């Protein structure tokens, strides 16, 4: 036998047993998005490398070491999207969706980052993301956050909490950056290798370090919240007031800085303690400068993205159950006449009982074999068609989870099925 080829590390197959959870999550989240008037946008998975370099930032982890970039046959450098915001902004500018307009958009799909795979961190992972353009005030920040809270309720998730911070304007952040670099510079000896490197390139990210040896130093560092510009301070105060008025709890986290360069003012993360190290299930913030930076007219913008794999892990951890895709009915047919009639009968049932899931036996087999398959399929009922049933204009009906077999006239089958399935659903 030839060597079998395996999937790429960190890129998962999502098997039929797992897809009910994905569909549950996607349906519920989509329902909330539509209830808030958000519209779907579908974007390419490949973009020019430059788009991500410019928007996410040259000295971020993603651009420095995590992108799947390659030259295509024309010699252009392309990259598998590591996130959705950059492509959405690119499309918004290119398609004229942004100028003088308000847009509430969402998207869903795979993202790619060459990170070290571990539980909750993959190289191909999936996000549902939201981007809003053309609204500068904190009211829309609040709407986004309240919408995510509704999503957790719709999904049946309780163990998530909201962390909130403001990064101020780029100018205020620039001033703070100098203050921070001066402070960290005085403590060079205490910095780890990563932080020493970041001291010159991206010092704010040092605040995000998870290294236990650096926590005391970080705790004592000057705080960005003490150096915000006045407008950002007011924006943030109003956002907090709106969340308070809506009764939504949050924690102010002055160390929340995010790993992408495009953010300014509001940033937030939803975190859980139930998933170990990869506990951030949803994250986002404001990026008012990005549209202009990528060549559009100045346009305020804010958004977030949630990690589907992490949310599913949390749903499983929480014990949420998902709607079963198992068939209601398995149709057993023995003999050529029954096989032919079975195809027609199955379709008639699907027509007359919308939503009914009918699995038709395929590939022949004895009664015994077919019943084994029926059992394995998870169906509640087997319908049995053989020559004798056909001759009598009847169908055998056998509950597969206990109960007696009966025979019904084909003309009464729909009514009988309705009764049986309703009784089953009510159990």
Q: Which residue is nearest to ligand HAM (CB)?
A: 307
Distance CA 329, CA 338 (A): 16
Closer to ligand HAM by Cβ: residue 85 or 370: 85
To the nearest whole angstrom, how small is the minimum distance from the Cβ of residue 172 to ligand HAM? Answer: 20
Residue 151 — φ and ψ, nearest 5°? Answer: -60, -40
**CB environment 295-319: b (16+ within 10 A), e (fewer):** ebeebbbbbbbbbbbbbbbbbeeee
Q: State the minimum distance, in angstroms, from the CB of residue 261 to ligand HAM.
A: 11
Please state, in angstroms and rounded to a whole number, the distance separating the CA atoms of residues 397 and 382.
6
What angle (nearest 5°) sits at the alpha carbon of residue 205, between those of residues 202 and 208?
Answer: 170
**Residues in contact with ligand HAM by the rule CB under 6 A:** 83-85, 113, 115, 120-122, 125, 127, 129, 131, 259-260, 280-285, 303-307, 309-310
Extract the tokens encoding 334.
């023995």
Q: Which residues of 223-243 are buried (b: 16+ CB within 10 A; e: fewer)?
A: ebbebbbeebbebbeebbebb
> Which strand (E) or helix (H) includes residue 108?
strand 103-112
CA 382 to chain centre: 37
Between 13 and 391, CB nearer to ligand HAM: 13
**Closer to ligand HAM by Cβ: residue 87 or 342:** 87
Name the minimum Å distance from CB 82 to ligand HAM.
7
Nearest distance in Å: CB 75, ligand HAM: 28
Pairing of strands 39-40, 103-112: parallel
- Are 267 and 101 contacting, i.e. CB atoms less than 8 angstroms apart? no
Distance in Å, CB of 122 to ligand HAM, minimum: 4
Q: How far is CA 117 from each of CA 10, 66, 212, 305, 315, rounded to the nearest angstrom? A: 5, 12, 22, 20, 21
Residue with smaller CB distance to ligand HAM, 305 or 420: 305
Specify whether the CB–CB gap between 294 and 50 falls below 8 A: no
Q: Judged by CB, which is closer to ligand HAM: 160, or 228?
A: 160
Burial 249-274 (b: 16+ CB within 10 A, else e): ebeebebbbbbbbbbbbbbbbbbbee
Nearer to ligand HAM, 120 or 300 (CB): 120
d(CA 112, CA 33): 24
Q: How far is the CB of 125 from ligand HAM (least distance, A)?
A: 3
- Residue nearer to ligand HAM on the CB measure, 7 or 425: 7
Residue 43 Cβ vs ligand HAM, minimum distance, rounded to whole Å: 12
d(CA 417, CA 397): 9
| CA-based nearest residue to 269, from 158, 352, 148, 385 | 148
Cβ closest to ligand HAM, residue 239 vs residue 359: 239
What is the smallest separation between the CB atom of 282 and ligand HAM, expressed in angstroms? Answer: 6
- Select 236 or 304, whichever has its Cβ closest to ligand HAM: 304
Compare residues 125 and 371 and give the one whose CB is closer to ligand HAM. Answer: 125
Paired tokens of 32: 């909330």
Rounded distance, CA 393 to CA 382, Å?
Answer: 17
How many Å from the N-terminal Cα to the C-terminal Cα in the chain? 50
- Smallest gap from Cβ 267 to ligand HAM, in A, equals 9
CB of 117 to ligand HAM, least distance (A): 8
Contacts of 212 (CB under 8 A, 6+ apart): none
Distance in angstroms (rounded) separating the CA atoms of residues 354 and 351 = 6
Of 106 and 176, the one with the shorter C-beta distance to ligand HAM is: 106
CB of 271 to ligand HAM, least distance (A): 9
């Amino acid at each position: 036998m030839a060597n079998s080829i395996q999937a790429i590390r960190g890129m998962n197959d999502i098997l039929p047993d797992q897809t009910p959870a994905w569909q549950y999550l996607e349906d519920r989240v989509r329902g909330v998005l539509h209830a808030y008037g958000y519209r779907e946008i579908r974007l390419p998975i490949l973009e020019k490398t430059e788009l991500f370099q410019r928007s996410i930032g040259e000295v971020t982890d993603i651009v420095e070491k995590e992108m799947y970039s390659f030259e295509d046959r024309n010699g252009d450098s392309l990259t598998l999207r590591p996130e959705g915001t950059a492509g959405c902004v690119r499309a918004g500018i290119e398609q004229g969706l942004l100028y003088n307009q308000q847009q509430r958009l969402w998207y869903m799909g795979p993202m790619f980052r060459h990170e070290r795979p571990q539980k909750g961190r993959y190289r191909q992972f999936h996000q549902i993301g939201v981007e809003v353009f053309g609204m500068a005030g904190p009211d829309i920040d609040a709407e986004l956050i309240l919408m995510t809270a509704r999503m957790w309720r719709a999904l049946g998730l309780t163990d998530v909490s909201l962390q909130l911070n403001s990064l101020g304007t780029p100018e205020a952040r620039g001033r703070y950056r100098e203050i921070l670099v001066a402070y960290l510079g005085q403590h060079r000896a205490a910095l780890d290798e990563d932080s020493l490197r970041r001291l010159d390139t991206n010092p704010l990210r040092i605040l995000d370090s998870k290294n236990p040896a650096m926590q005391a130093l970080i705790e004592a560092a000057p705080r960005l919240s003490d150096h915000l510009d006045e407008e950002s301070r007011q924006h943030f105060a109003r956002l907090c007031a709106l969340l308070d008025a809506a009764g939504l709890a949050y924690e102010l986290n002055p160390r929340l800085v995010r790993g992408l360069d495009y953010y300014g003012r509001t940033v937030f993360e939803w975190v859980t303690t139930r998933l170990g190290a990869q506990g951030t299930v949803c994250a986002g913030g404001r990026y008012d400068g990005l549209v202009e930076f990528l060549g559009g007219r100045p346009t305020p913008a804010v958004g977030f993205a949630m990690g589907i794999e992490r949310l599913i892990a949390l749903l499983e951890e929480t014990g949420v159950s998902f709607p079963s895709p198992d068939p209601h009915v398995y149709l057993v047919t023995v003999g050529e006449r029954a096989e032919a009639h079975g195809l027609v009968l199955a379709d008639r049932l699907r027509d007359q009982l919308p939503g009914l899931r009918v699995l038709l036996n395929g590939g022949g087999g004895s009664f015994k074999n077919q019943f084994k398959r029926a059992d394995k399929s998870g169906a509640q009922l087997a319908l049995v068609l053989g020559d004798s049933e056909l001759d009598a204009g009847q169908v055998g009906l056998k509950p597969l989870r206990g109960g007696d077999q009966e025979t019904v006239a084909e003309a009464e089958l729909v009514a009988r099925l309705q009764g049986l399935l309703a009784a089953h659903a009510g159990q």
